Structure 1
Amino acid sequence: MSLSTALQNKILLDAINMDLVSCFVNNKFDVIIFNPPYVVTESAECGGCGIEASWAGGIKGREIIDRLLDMIPKYLSPDGIFYLLLIKENIPTEVVQIMFKYGFKSETIITRQVRNEQQVVLKFYR
């Protein structure tokens, strides 16, 4: 939710513009929810400042996702839960394998078809 959307709906919100979790130092979170840019695109489209930053995921749609996966063990509390939205093209089974190597179990919360996307929400926990 953007700050302007929150204000229009009379919701108090502190907004921070940062690269993933780069502004947090030595913080641990009980819940991390990530709705990433997951569309398969050219790598050059990733990480821009334009509207494409909201969808451009690069190779396999996972360039941004994979960067955060590497950070989850450091920022998630020992009993914490990490929720991640993916599409079929992101190869969710590979994501599950990556998180397993970090010591995380997983379960599928929901799978649904939304227009042309087969979406899945995964839950990771220790």
Structure 2
Amino acid sequence: MGLEERRDEEPDVYQPAEDSHLLAEAACERLEGDERVLEVGTGSGYVAGRIADRTDARVIASDLNPHAVRQARGAGVETVRADLVSPFRDATFDAVVFNPPYLPTDPENEWDDWMEHALSGGEDGRAVIDPFLEHVGRVLAPEGSVYLLVSSLTGVDEVVEEAGERGFSAVAVADESFPFETLTVLELLR
């Protein structure tokens, strides 16, 4: 990343990393191009920006973090401050993309700032994933798909099981192994 790009970074915003790149590539490979796409938890706006640049999709991003909203907007991404999918209308999006906070975190070691919100998935790593799965179906068009990044630290099988309980079938469409975890992008379909 060049010096020019770093000046626009907010210190309280999750910046693109291996998980961001994996999710962006997997989504871009599967999107047809003219979909309405929502990226939940956009952080810097990297994934939404990549999808907008590489497809003809109409991309909207959301994040709870006001610093992330500002950075993503500064990068040219249409961004809304929102908690998961709460402000969006029913059946609006053909695809929803999410790189959630997934790191299991001991409650005794949480530091309660915006970066923790971007990284901490609670004790089991699914504190944000489970509510997302509960509500994402509402904003998804009938033939829509969800691209969800999950870590082996979170328990991919448990996420697939929860998705199944919410009416989704799940298939792994991309993965990458690292020394301490494997990252997997799940495609969820109804």
Same fold (TM over 0.5): yes
Q: Deviations over 1:42-88 (max 9, x none)?
A: 35749x55221110110211001111010022121110000100111
Structure 2, unpaired ranges of 5+:
1-44, 46-67
Q: Secondary structure at the match of 1:20?
A: coil
Q: Is the 8 A contact 1:111 1:118 kept in 2?
A: yes
Q: Which one has more relative contact order, counting CA pairs under 8 Å at least 6 apart?
A: 1
Counterpart residue identity of residue 4, structure 1: Q
Pair 1:116-2:180 in alignment? yes
Of 7, 29, 34, the residue aligned with 2:93 is 29
Counterpart contact for 2:72–2:79, Cα < 8 Å: no
Select 1:42's aligned residue among 74, 84, 106. Answer: 106
Tell whether 2:71 aligns with 1:4.
Answer: yes
- What is the count of residue pairs matched by the alignment? 122
- C-alpha distance in 1, partners of 2:96/2:115? 23
Residue 82 of structure 1: aligned partner: 146
CA distance in structure 2 between the partners assigned to 1:5 and 1:18 by the alignment: 13
SS in 1 for 2:128: helix
TM-score (structure 2 length as normaliser): 0.57
User: Residue 89 of structure 1: SS of its match in structure 2?
Assistant: coil
Q: Which whole-Å CA distance do the structure 1 matches of 2:99 and 2:166 have between them? A: 20
Gaps of 5+ in 1: none
Task: Give me the CA root mean square deviation.
Answer: 2.2
TM-score (norm 1): 0.83
Q: 1:115, CA displacement in angstroms? A: 4.8
> Identity across aligned pairs (percent)?
30
CA distance in structure 1 between the partners assigned to 2:188 and 2:91 by the alignment: 18
Within 2, Cα distance between the matches of 1:26 and 1:106? 22
The question of whether the paired residues in 2 share the 8 Å contact of 1:43 and 1:57 is answered with no
User: Aligned AA for 2:104?
Assistant: V
Q: Is the 8 A contact 1:86 1:120 kept in 2?
A: yes
Q: Secondary structure in 2 aligned to 1:99?
A: helix
SS of equivalent residue, structure 2 residue 116: helix
Please list the CA deviations of residues 101-123 of structure 1 after superposition, one character each: whole Å capped at 9, or x if unmatched: 22221110112113532111100
- Secondary structure of 2:81's counterpart equals coil
Alpha-carbon distance between aligned partners in 2 of 1:79 and 1:40, rounded to the nearest angstrom: 32
